[in-house]
Amino acid sequence: MRIERRLLRFITITNWVLLGVVTVSGFILASMHFALGILAGGLIVTINFHLLYRSLRQALTPQHLSNTRVVLGKYYIRFVASAVIIFVLIANHYVDPLGLVIGLSVVVTGIFIATLNEIRKIIF
């Protein structure tokens, strides 16, 4: 269980650091519209990642084993809420869609970095 906690901590910290670095870079190198897209996408995906972690932790603790329908219901509610938020942001031209896509890829990038880090530890 120790490695899972370490990986989760690494991914969480990496997500926030990546979000900060990419957002600040967006504000410096691109327009405000583009940087707000990065920030909005990063916040959406990072908050969803945290809420998924909480849902799964609660569902899998021995005292509170939840029905899979409850876990999936929460997942789909988050998914629909995220889709609505993304639709509103793009439809009302609050953010740049390319910046939003870059922001939405923060968690995937964090997981990829964690994977490379673990492979590095295994090999070396």
Opening angle at CA 87, ends 82 and 93, nearest 5: 130
Using a pLDDT cut of 70, give the percent of the chain over it: 97
The answer to whether residue 66 scores a pLDDT higher than 70 is no
Calpha distance 57→85 (Å, rounded): 25
Domain that holds residue 84: 2-123
pLDDT for residue 65: 66
Could you give the CA distance from residue 100 to residue 90 in angstroms, rounded to a whole number?
A: 9
- Contacts of residue 82, Cβ cutoff 8 Å, sequence gap at least 6: 44, 48
pLDDT at 54 over 90: no
Contact (Cβ atoms closer than 8 angstroms) between residue 113 and residue 14: yes
**Taking the complete model, does pTM exceed 0.85, yes or no?**
no
Number of domains into which the chain is organized: 1
pLDDT of 1 > 60? The answer is no
Mean pLDDT of 96-104: 92
Query: Using alpha carbons only, how large is the chain's radius of gyration in Å?
Result: 17
Distance CA(5)–CA(108), nearest Å, equals 18
> Band of the pLDDT at 105, cuts 50, 70, 90?
very high
- The per-residue pLDDT for range 18-43, each reduced to its tens digit, is 999 999 999 999 889 999 999 999 99
